[in-house]
Amino acid sequence: MQDELDKQIAARAKHRAQFGRKPAKAYQKNTDQPKEMITIKAADLQVPEGVFKQNDGKVLGPLRAEHAGNNAEGVVLIDEEDSHAVLKLQTPVTQKGLAVAVLVLATKENANQHESEPIRFPALCVSTQEPLIAAGYLYQLGMQTVQRHEPQVKIAVDERDTEAIRCFVFQDQTSLWDAMQSHPVKTVFASEPLLQHD
């Protein structure tokens, strides 16, 4: 009867259970949870040889914080927490070029604690040996200024202005459907005056 069918439909609509052969899918995409931020420590990274140089042109390599002394030269990569003790050292600590690069993670909290702008430099992940780009503040602790070592000849990348379009063609609204089946892009460009090259 119709009234019995209506009652069954109303009862099932309130229950919200899935009927039929397919099992109910329990997964849901939760967009409220923020993505977990990846935190990298300075101990996880290494500055490769040749990324930085002294102002006299000598290429510098990585240097551990405990080896920073009178005869040291290189780049020390340290975390924000460790930087306060290192930056309190009386400069210059050496007669050679020595710089401390404080690795700054992409957080807003660290940005207000440094006066200079962060520099980006290539680094190497110690555990995976994968290259990556890191950002850090470079503080000078030696007699010579340490700076990024830029190659003499840089690779030029040709750039061209490009644009993208999205085109929907419906079979019942075009007489070119057969041509669209074999050459869709060519047919669209040939039939649309706005896409014609001068």
Residue 34 lies in a domain: no
Residues 180 and 159: beta-carbon distance below 8 Å: no
Residue 153 lies in a domain: no
Regarding whether 119 and 97 lie in a shared domain, the answer is: yes
Could you identify the residue written with the tokens 């405990």?
66
Round to whole Å and give the CA distance between 187 and 177: 9
Regarding whether 46 and 105 lie in a shared domain, the answer is: yes
Strand order of the sheet with strand 119-125?
Answer: 45-46, 119-125, 131-140, 98-103, 74-78, 62-63
pLDDT at residue 104, as a whole number? 46
Round to whole Å and give the CA distance between 77 and 83: 9
Residue 107 lies in a domain: yes
Regarding whether 129 and 57 lie in a shared domain, the answer is: yes
Residue 19 lies in a domain: no
Residue 13 lies in a domain: no
Regarding whether 194 and 115 lie in a shared domain, the answer is: no
pLDDT at residue 106, as a whole number? 40
Regarding whether 169 and 102 lie in a shared domain, the answer is: no
Residue 56 lies in a domain: yes
pLDDT at residue 98, as a whole number? 65
Show the domain range for 103: 42-148
DSSP strand pairing (146-148 vs 52-54): antiparallel
Provide the token pair at 195.
Answer: 């896409």
Give SS3 for 15.
Answer: helix
pLDDT at residue 105, as a whole number? 46
pLDDT at residue 140, as a whole number? 82
Residues 149 and 49: beta-carbon distance below 8 Å: no
- φ/ψ of 83, rounded to 5, equals -70, -30
- φ/ψ of 193, rounded to 5, equals -65, -30
Give SS3 for 13.
Answer: helix
Residue 52: what residue type?
Answer: F
Regarding whether 118 and 178 lie in a shared domain, the answer is: no
Regarding whether 137 and 187 lie in a shared domain, the answer is: no
pLDDT at residue 35, as a whole number? 65
Residue 36 lies in a domain: no
Regarding whether 122 and 195 lie in a shared domain, the answer is: no
Low-confidence residues of the chain: pLDDT under 50: 101, 103-106
Counted domains in the chain: 2
Regarding whether 142 and 59 lie in a shared domain, the answer is: yes
Regarding whether 178 and 95 lie in a shared domain, the answer is: no
Round to whole Å and give the CA distance between 146 and 144: 6
Residue 168 lies in a domain: yes
Round to whole Å and give the CA distance between 16 and 21: 15
Round to whole Å and give the CA distance between 147 and 163: 38
